[in-house]
Structure 1
């Protein structure tokens, strides 16, 4: 037996999620698609056939087109673009023409011209009745509220409402069949009409082109006439406005006695400029005089000697001469004082000369100071006089300027009204003198011809697209079904998800009762099934060569997976070589007594554990092996299986038989399988193909391994071999060849 460390390690591996679950296995996706290739191809063929039948029933549609040249020319007469805001150049102009080609007014014009209201393709009275009246249903849904149809302007009065409604429907249907497309970056435009009637499509395209040209000429004529009438009425208003402006200008001239405003303003401006220059000089002179005057005032308290030190006084030539005379007299006094006494006549004469020189200098200083004061007063008076004259000239110029501005304003008004009047008069004369208003801005380059080939439906393209969609849908559905079908479908899945070996697989047995399947190995009713049971038997025997599995428990995840059938048939296969006892330990849903027709009330395992029956009474010998049924269903099966008496019974049976096969309850239903696994030497886990969810099996196996259950391997039960082969699943090769293929050959 395996050690506890090995079992725990395998338990962790079994419960660990796949590390590559988030990765996309392209090979696995391809294998999935390849297994379903016939289903995908069948869907492809069916969809293609339906598409072929559908496109064959479609009505072919023809497309006829006419080519127009839309010219961008400037107006030669009345500037309609200026009047209506339209420009004859640029992409906006071309886009406007394209929309006019698709307008309802043009469509109504063609419908009337070609009388399409009676054409079978448009006339609703000639259309076959629909299988389902959608409009009627919608009308009933809206409580029978009838919404009146919008009628064309020229049909609103004096026209039968039924005819007007038909005309409206035909116009809308015709507009849906019109397409307008520019030809590259040129001024050419292609007008196309799609209809089932090829000849009528060509007529409609030509009618659209010609109708567009005619409507443009009519619109041009109408706009020109409107503009002429408007200019006539406007011209009278402009004449009156011009006359009023001229009268207002003349009245202002007479009131202000204005003859030559420009000459007067020029003279006044010259005088003002000259006065300004003189005033600048006077300000400079006053500033200089004021500076000297302020120096004199600041020296008044210091005597005439201080006044003599003022630069303006000191720099005067007379002051310098008098100072020189005073200096000479002072020097002479100093020289004589050294030789003579104070009363010497020569000294007195020298002092008298010095006093006279000083008096002369003082008198001259006082005269110069008085002159500075007078110059300052004259400079101030001169500046004030010039400022008054400047202000008077400035006021006069401002008054003249105000009159000049008013005069020019009135003159501009007269000039503007005269220019506008002359412009309207010129345009009006041009309109009356020219006749090229009837020229159109478009012409037909290529007339529409009757198409020979329909443009739609594109039958081959529709069939190809339908086929591709069928392939994509088939592949998508296959991958979706595969993703949603989270069950075991192959031995590789079991080994990769559970990390347990697969001891064998059992084919799906159809058209047989459950009781018959329990006898299938002994009766050899299905060779492939019997061969599979032998393969499982061989795996069980070989896995216990060193330590034989005397107690063998067989369980599953949930009821209905075939564990009881596997237990019965495997016990019979082992019974061919050994002494085997088959025990039905599923006391809640026992099947052994029913499958092998035991008498009602036959004692079994529950009676043996409870001590109400002997071993000889409970064991039945059937088809070469001994069988111990569940017996009377107890209220506490788990307590019985967990009791010491059951352990003693099992030890006794172990010594008496070579192999004891126990049919255990499912792991996810009750805990009986976990209890039974503690007494077993080997445990086989049964999984139903394409039925047992993978997470459920992982949970069941994980619980057993966590409780140190000796899980030996897995048996994949109820495998639909034909279906598996179609889907591309392989089960080792030898089984398919020796088992199923031989049966198929016999059949």
Structure 2
């Protein structure tokens, strides 16, 4: 045997990358876990059924509220509180308002739900026969006084209970909001749904009423304040005008009007002075040129001069007439000449008076012009002072004007809000009142049963999947090869499953082999023998160590039964009991041995003296009761010599070893064997235990022939062991004679 490396035979299983979905494997797995699936599914379905049956029927009533995008304009005035914009976030916000605790509090107060035992768990319902009468009001004895914190907590408890039955939802992307309320009593469900919808609209109106009332109150106060401020500002303006002589009429101050009049008078005076000076200057100029004054413009226009000239003309005509008639010395002529000369004197005197009057008029005009110019200068000085005072006056007037503008604006707004008070409309309306439901909305038996069935099937499948994931043992040949990567040598059936009839009491598997050599049970050992002997291609397998990872996996029974199978087939075989701690071979012997393996190794007796012949012809090297020894006898030179001798004398040497995970003896003995056979109890031995045991043999040059499953239930394997030869057990069962 080549012990230089840990050898494993070529695996016949496909690699992980070659795995394909096999429906038969799924069906076989499901059949294998059918009881688990049925149990879990039944438990879940029954739980759903019981839950449905014990539920109190509840009814759901629905009221619909629509946010109204249209605005009702009774007056052409803007509202104090504007309407809601009809966009999606606003609709979602109103949905939350309908779910709010404040609205639920109002519903509780309006409907007095705190006096309803359904909502108030702190109330005691009516007891006795009256409790079964629906028309009897379930009054409650008043509870003991509680403090404010406890009262608030109880109130919040009632609100929580009320909100638990409320469901507010938006209908898609529309402006419709459905208000659903669920209650065991259909009338109460409709009543509560309508209460939430109506109080929602009332709350909107109250918000607008409150906003308008607060606005009116503020505007009223502010208007009074501004009126007082305006009066004070205007009074300050008037007082300042009086104090600074800034009184005005027709848009101009008195000083400005005075200056304007004086300027006009001054202009007129200057024009009159210029005219008078011109007439005087012309008259003086004419007199200076030798004129007697008769051609002076003023004398020409004088009615006195004109009258005197008329009289002179008449008198001159008389003088001329008298001169022609009487001569120059006639008294009448002289008298007429004296009168003519007197008239000329009067004319000259009148002309001198006119010239003097012109001079007086010119002097008066000059004095009047000077006086008017002085008055204008004084008025201009006064106007300059008024203009300097006007800067402060303008500031006071602007302040008064700003107060007046604000006062008039707020006064107009106050009149608008006062006029619009009482005509506010909510931003929503109830389009559908909740009707009393006629059928319960919960529970729905058909839906619950369908969901229960689906949940039961799902739970059952989940349990199957979880059981397969957490599956510790091995079931089929495919699982052995895929999960361990070792060849599958065969299976050792559970004797009771391999017998059709009733098995006689006290019959051991090894004895059954001798009595029923053509049975299916015996055939399984022949298959195992062939698989072991031909596991090493091209090399003989004579020394076979049979082990397991854990105790109780049928290792000794399998070893002894395999020895009898080899012996009945004509091979010389010896079984060596190598389990120094828990020897089990002796229970198959007729009498306890007096000498065994330890005695042979210690040289107390010879091999022939210790060998026991079985009824099948197989030899047994057992262990005596006193075989326990603290020494490592299995790794000794004497043990290697014994195995060499047994190899020469027998065709097959079977070593019944201790479990790998429990005792280190098997690890010491395994390298001396041609092949190691790992046994695993069907459906019981954890795969992790097997892999841990196999890892102990790595690096010791041990050839592991493969894994065999023991205590296989052929009937169960025939039902759901797809991937294993026993799956077809019923098909070839007729070949066996049990």
Asked if TM exceeds 0.5, the reply is yes
1:605 CA drift (Å): 1.0
- Residue 340 of structure 1 aligns with which residue? none
- Residue 707 of structure 1 aligns with which residue? 700
Distance (Å, rounded) in 2 between the aligned partners of 1:504 and 1:93 = 75
Distance (Å, rounded) in 2 between the aligned partners of 1:111 and 1:699 = 69
Q: Are 1:485 and 2:477 matched, yes or no?
A: no
- Residue 582 of structure 2 aligns with which residue? 589
**How big is each residue's C-alpha offset from its partner over 1:441-488, in whole Å with a ceiling of 9 and x where there is no partner?**
554433322223333334444433443343343333333332333443
Distance (Å, rounded) in 2 between the aligned partners of 1:545 and 1:206 = 89
CA contact (8 A) 2:577 2:657 kept: yes
Of stretches 524-533 and 232-241 in structure 1, the one that deviates more from structure 2 is: 524-533
**How big is each residue's C-alpha offset from its partner over 1:421-445, in whole Å with a ceiling of 9 and x where there is no partner?**
2234334445666775376555443
SS at match of 1:64: strand
- Residue 437 of structure 1 aligns with which residue? 423
CA contact (8 A) 1:687 1:715 kept: yes
CA contact (8 A) 2:718 2:729 kept: no
**Alpha-carbon spacing, 1:462–1:547, altered in 2? closer, same or farther (3 Å):** same
CA contact (8 A) 1:603 1:617 kept: yes
Q: Are 1:59 and 2:56 matched, yes or no?
A: yes
Distance (Å, rounded) in 1 between the aligned partners of 2:493 and 2:392 = 117
Q: Are 1:508 and 2:478 matched, yes or no?
A: no
TM norm structure 1: 0.64
- Pick aligned residue for 1:242 from 226, 230, 253: 230
- Residue 10 of structure 1 aligns with which residue? 8
Superposed counterparts of 1:305-320, under 5 Å: none
Q: Are 1:687 and 2:692 matched, yes or no?
A: no
- Residue 547 of structure 2 aligns with which residue? 555
**Alpha-carbon spacing, 1:42–1:128, altered in 2? closer, same or farther (3 Å):** farther
1:583 CA drift (Å): 1.6
CA contact (8 A) 1:520 1:569 kept: no
**How big is each residue's C-alpha offset from its partner over 1:322-356, in whole Å with a ceiling of 9 and x where there is no partner?**
xxxxxxxxxxxxxxxxxxxxxxxxxxxxxxxxxxx
Gaps of 5+ in 2: 128-145, 254-384, 497-502
Distance (Å, rounded) in 1 between the aligned partners of 2:683 and 2:230 = 102
Superposed counterparts of 1:158-169, under 5 Å: 169=157
- Residue 44 of structure 1 aligns with which residue? 41
Distance (Å, rounded) in 2 between the aligned partners of 1:700 and 1:200 = 71
**How big is each residue's C-alpha offset from its partner over 1:193-244, in whole Å with a ceiling of 9 and x where there is no partner?**
2222222322333344444455555665565555444443333211111122
Gaps of 5+ in 1: 130-145, 153-163, 265-398
- Residue 633 of structure 1 aligns with which residue? 627
**How big is each residue's C-alpha offset from its partner over 1:125-147, in whole Å with a ceiling of 9 and x where there is no partner?**
46699xxxxxxxxxxxxxxxx88
SS at match of 1:414: helix
- Residue 326 of structure 2 aligns with which residue? none
**Alpha-carbon spacing, 1:512–1:80, altered in 2? closer, same or farther (3 Å):** farther
How many residue pairs get aligned? The number is 576
Q: Are 1:412 and 2:403 matched, yes or no?
A: no
1:593 CA drift (Å): 2.3
- Residue 494 of structure 1 aligns with which residue? 480
- Residue 438 of structure 2 aligns with which residue? 452
CA contact (8 A) 1:588 1:637 kept: no
1:250 CA drift (Å): 4.3
Distance (Å, rounded) in 2 between the aligned partners of 1:114 and 1:692 = 68
CA contact (8 A) 1:121 1:196 kept: no
1:259 CA drift (Å): 8.5
1:191 CA drift (Å): 3.3
1:251 CA drift (Å): 5.1
Distance (Å, rounded) in 2 between the aligned partners of 1:412 and 1:24 = 96
- Residue 342 of structure 1 aligns with which residue? none
- Residue 192 of structure 2 aligns with which residue? 204
Q: Are 1:568 and 2:560 matched, yes or no?
A: yes
Report the aligned-residue RMSD: 4.8
Distance (Å, rounded) in 2 between the aligned partners of 1:741 and 1:430 = 108
Distance (Å, rounded) in 2 between the aligned partners of 1:88 and 1:402 = 56
- Residue 365 of structure 1 aligns with which residue? none
1:741 CA drift (Å): 8.2
- Residue 349 of structure 2 aligns with which residue? none
CA contact (8 A) 1:86 1:93 kept: no
- Pick aligned residue for 1:195 from 144, 169, 183: 183
1:727 CA drift (Å): 4.1
The structure that has the greater radius of gyration is: 2
**Alpha-carbon spacing, 1:97–1:481, altered in 2? closer, same or farther (3 Å):** closer
**Alpha-carbon spacing, 1:169–1:617, altered in 2? closer, same or farther (3 Å):** same
Distance (Å, rounded) in 2 between the aligned partners of 1:190 and 1:716 = 66
CA contact (8 A) 1:665 1:672 kept: yes
SS at match of 1:641: coil
CA contact (8 A) 1:620 1:627 kept: yes
Distance (Å, rounded) in 2 between the aligned partners of 1:681 and 1:104 = 83
Distance (Å, rounded) in 2 between the aligned partners of 1:183 and 1:694 = 57
